[in-house]
A and B are shown apart, each in its own frame.
Chain A
């Protein structure tokens, strides 16, 4: 979606808020917010892509008004309501109306974190592109979750690496399954993305799914 989360290239946010000797967590509640969000995913009522999309669905003015972990909590509450892990009456009263058993105990946490959730999949289709190939990215503007940022749409780039086939976030976030698809690192010159502001020799590389792109030859003049 063309949301506020898609920030690449925007002006107006000022200086980078660099902080010396930054702690891992600034406050106890931020640590708890992260831990709750990570562990609630163990219920498997939503996947990582749906979780990202839930943050993107926070309206733009609110998104900017919320701090980072407030966005996480806001999205988590939305997901728990949507999947009936929490009911409105429970949220309103603060009291549980039933009792479940947590999917993970403290003894499980390390194993689950160290296992992670790999997204590479074996697919029958051969990769359509190889390093060195010129491609043009799609200029579509889907309303759902997508990982092709606006600043890199309709641009000409070069494949620099094939990562294998990965779960496709656009379908996965929408509940339409994994639909794995080849992913490539695609390099764009700074001038292609930013015009006269692009410094000669500088590049930006994005990891993009095959169905975000076409061979450059098929769309001459684009980009």
Chain B
């Protein structure tokens, strides 16, 4: 959790929308500025005994420190190095991933999809923001953006180009729109020149974006900085 800048929680996040359109019609009495509004709401919920503030802290800690892309990276590295695990992952990804301790919310029903020289997989949720929290944590802002939700299904190659990924014409792009409770984890191809690396070293090469599908070619010097 980044510390708030001294000049306010929104200083690094300028508003890109207007509050002058009356969307606060049913709660005009609640402060409109989101930081104040959420603070007021939390205070009321705590006051009423509807939430325990320590439980809020613990949930945020879990998704900041414990549940994130390093979980998924470990799944990928295990799949690269352990043929029996890869086979289990293909048979029942939920069960295989649970062996590594990654279970629960927004990962209850997992499917792993493997990139090959001929196939590139890309995951989106056009209807909301479904994402495999148990292995990747909280989705990045771009994954939840209107642009990504609208475009990933219609023009995945143009979307990938914006991420710096060029897909050859003879490679099939398979887009997975997460419309049910099944959550998809992309298994990228193991980078060349990594025969000497063990599972832990390999997992350091696996980026979040590669497991969503907005990165394709991992490299031995650590992929790109988006992870």
Q: Give chain B residues whose Cβ lies under 8 Å from the Cβ of A174.
A: none
Q: Are the C-beta atoms of A199 and B153 separated by less than 8 Å?
A: no
Q: Are the C-beta atoms of A68 and B141 separated by less than 8 Å?
A: yes
The listed residue with most A CB atoms (<10 A of its CB), out of B13, B54, B58, is B58
Give Cα A99 to B52, complex, Å: 12
Q: Are the C-beta atoms of A65 and B23 separated by less than 8 Å?
A: yes
Q: Are the C-beta atoms of A32 and B49 separated by less than 8 Å?
A: no
Count, chain A residues at interface, CB 8 A:
106
Provide the B140-182 mask, 1 if CB < 8 A to any CB of A, else 0: 1110111111110111110100110000011111111111111
For chain A residues 72-120, which have a beta carbon within 8 Å of chain B? Answer: 73-74, 77-78, 85-86, 90-92, 94-102, 104-106, 108-110, 113-120
Q: Are the C-beta atoms of B1 and A149 separated by less than 8 Å?
A: no
| Contact of A15 with B by CB under 8 A | yes
Of all chain B residues, the one with the shortest Cβ separation from A8 is: B126
Q: Are the C-beta atoms of A39 and B51 separated by less than 8 Å?
A: yes
Q: Give chain A residues whose Cβ lies under 8 Å from the Cβ of B142.
A: 16-19, 22
Q: Are the C-beta atoms of A28 and B1 separated by less than 8 Å?
A: yes
Q: Give chain B residues whose Cβ lies under 8 Å from the Cβ of A98.
A: 48
Determine which of B17, B105, B108, B141 lies in contact with A17 in the assembled complex, contact meaning CB atoms within 8 Å: B141
Q: Are the C-beta atoms of B104 and A6 separated by less than 8 Å?
A: no
Provide the B47-64 mask, 1 if CB < 8 A to any CB of A, else 0: 111111011111110111
Known contacts A7-B150, A67-B17, A106-B55: A16-B145 contact under CB 8 Å:
yes
| Contact of A23 with B by CB under 8 A | yes
Give Cα A34 to B126, complex, Å: 20
Give Cα A101 to B129, complex, Å: 31
Top 9 nearest A-B pairs by Cβ distance?
A8-B126, A62-B23, A207-B180, A96-B48, A116-B104, A106-B54, A13-B147, A10-B150, A100-B49
In addition to A15-B162, A90-B44, 19 A-B residue pairs with Cβ atoms within 8 Å of each other are: A5-B127, A8-B153, A18-B226, A19-B142, A28-B1, A29-B34, A31-B64, A32-B60, A34-B59, A35-B60, A61-B21, A64-B17, A67-B17, A86-B45, A104-B55, A116-B134, A183-B182, A197-B154, A197-B155
Q: List 6 A-B contacts (CB under 8 A).
A: A27-B4, A31-B60, A104-B55, A110-B62, A118-B108, A201-B173
Which chain B residues have a beta carbon within 8 Å of chain A's beta carbons?
1-2, 4, 9-10, 12-13, 16-19, 21, 23, 26-27, 29-30, 34-35, 37-45, 47-52, 54-60, 62-64, 67-68, 103-109, 111, 126-129, 134, 137-138, 140-142, 144-151, 153-157, 159, 162-163, 169-182, 225-226
